[in-house]
A and B are shown apart, each in its own frame.
Chain A
Amino acid sequence: METRFVNEALESAIDDLNDRSLECIETRFAKLVYLASTRDYNTGHYHHEGLARRFGEDISEKALAETHRSIFDALALLPIETLVEELERYVHSTRVPYEEVLDAWYNLEPYRVIVPAGYEQLLIETFVSDVRVALAILLTRQRKQR
């Protein structure tokens, strides 16, 4: 009975997160970056003030972790061509100069820290590698245009 209650609360929290915080974020990459930013670098715990107030800290953290995983699942094994499109849309959506974002992402590799915990190492390495190649493609196209 208690498990059912927890599951229903978790589903409501996930819906709430999708309807409020993530609704206005256009791209899947931006959602992944946003959800990763709700995770504490030191502890690995997620925190979202509004969600925790409505559903409690425990349910809120589970909802953030689960949503983070589901967004990553949708992106992790995409063909590089689709990944390039996703990344391009994300870079445009940041409203920061296009090449500046590309350079920062290529050199600083922030995509390494947006991966949720608990995935097999080879999957993470494959995702990181594919994003690196996708960024190199976007940078090459950009330089050709100039």
Chain B
Amino acid sequence: MIELWISFAIAILVLAMLLAWLFRAFQSADTPPPGSYSPQVLIQLNLALPSPGVVQRIFATEDSKFISREGSQRLEALFLAERKRLALAWLQRTREVLRSLMSLHLRVVRQSAGSSLATELRLGFHYSFFVLTYGFLMILIFMRGPFWASSAIGLASRVADRAGSSSARLLGSLDPVYLGKMKES
């Protein structure tokens, strides 16, 4: 039984290392900097990811420290409930946007070539990575609150941003009217 657990732990470790290696491998030099994923056309189509400033605010630990100094359990409970609600809303909104972006991206690519295989692989990888971490983060935030897994949240945010960037590079250069029709279809 112990051997089984050890094998299981090794398998998880190998998988985590593989994912980390793949993640680094896909950080190509031509990936746009975080935050540059949402040209105006994506905002118009309601396909912009939550802005980095909002994400930073929701997960800012300085607020948590300040509330603790107030010395009121009722205030701490209110603050944590509010932050948990916002954190879950951020996660859901990010997933919705990425799902819509992916769907639109695939429809556009099917109809007109214009995206390289490397871009498609990168986009697919980042999207899959986010989907995999989404469920894990939902449970983590729900059970332990938004300040418990800041590094995992930071990673998920960066991955979502990169998936958005990869797609936006193609979609952002297309006619907004055409994209609007594709989105509705």
Flag if A123 contacts B51 (CB, 8 Å): yes
Interface residues of A in 99-145 (CB under 8 A from B): 120-123, 125-126, 129-130, 132-133, 136-137, 140-141
Interface residues of A in 5-46 (CB under 8 A from B): none
Q: List 16 A-B contacts (CB under 8 A).
A: A77-B54, A79-B63, A79-B66, A120-B54, A122-B54, A122-B86, A122-B89, A122-B90, A125-B86, A129-B83, A133-B67, A136-B74, A137-B67, A140-B70, A140-B74, A141-B70
Q: With A and B bound together, what is the CA distance between A141 and B72 in angstroms?
A: 10
Flag if B85 contacts A129 (CB, 8 Å): yes
Q: With A and B bound together, what is the CA distance between A120 and B78 in angstroms?
A: 24
Interface size on A, residues (CB 8 A): 18
Task: Report the minimal beta-carbon distance from A84 to chain B, rounded to whole angstroms.
Answer: 8
A-B contact count (CB 8 A): 60
The reply to whether the CB of A2 lies closer than 8 angstroms to some CB of chain B is: no
Most B CB atoms within 10 A — which of A79, A122, A125? A122
State which of A81, A122, A136 has its C-beta within 8 Å of the C-beta of B50: A122
If A137-B75, A140-B74 are given as contacts, then 15 extra A-B residue pairs at C-beta distance below 8 Å, sorted by A number, are A77-B53, A77-B57, A79-B63, A79-B66, A80-B66, A80-B67, A80-B79, A81-B66, A120-B54, A123-B53, A123-B54, A125-B86, A129-B85, A136-B75, A136-B78
Most B CB atoms within 10 A — which of A77, A79, A133? A133
Flag if B54 contacts A137 (CB, 8 Å): no
| Residues in A whose Cβ lies below 8 Å from that of B79 | 80, 133
